[in-house]
Structure 1
Amino acid sequence: MENGETTAEAAARETLEEACAEVVVNDLFTMVNVAHINQVHLFYRGHLREPAFGAGEESLETALFAEDDIPWDDLAFRSVTLCLRHYFEDRAKGSFTLHTADLPPL
């Protein structure tokens, strides 16, 4: 986060920097404590403002996937995997709730 920035503003900025995508940030969806590396990962639900995205300076590649096509073994961060699993579980239930988790070291 930058000074004076809310977590939602940081999420939008990071998405623009890493995925070259402008997003509308909605509600906080998942908070993952990654204490062994002194980090907290916050994930928000939201949507693309326009159907445009790409790899930013810190990303090797970006893509959109249907649920059945997600390359689970290739995701870079365990917190992303956890968040996506929560998302698809909640979507199947028809209701989204806030999730929290502690991610242990490997």
Structure 2
Amino acid sequence: EFTQSGGVRPFGVSLLVAGYDDDGPQLYQVDPSGSYWAWKASAIGKNATNAKTFLEKRYNPDMELEDAINTAILTLKEGFEGAVNEDNIEIGIVGI
């Protein structure tokens, strides 16, 4: 009853799940309904639309790791209110 009625479901969480398999790096987005999508790059949360637009313009499947990290940091700066610095950001690399 509570999950099917508008306004009474207390929480809904979207997740980005990253991994690495025989086909290379994988990224999936899962929404509160359980639907999921595979992405090459994505964003969730506040300003996700702006971040996704930024990623669409800058993403290149052949980019080097350093370029990918730089693009991720620039994407965060696009949607983050305040300064992005070593105190409020962490970068993780998924791979072998």
Q: TM-score, with normalisation over the residues of structure 2?
A: 0.28
Question: Is the radius of gyration larger for structure 1 or structure 2?
Answer: 2
Give the structure with the larger helix fraction: 1
Give the structure with the larger strand fraction: 1
Q: Which has the higher contact order (CA 8 A, sep 6+)?
A: 1
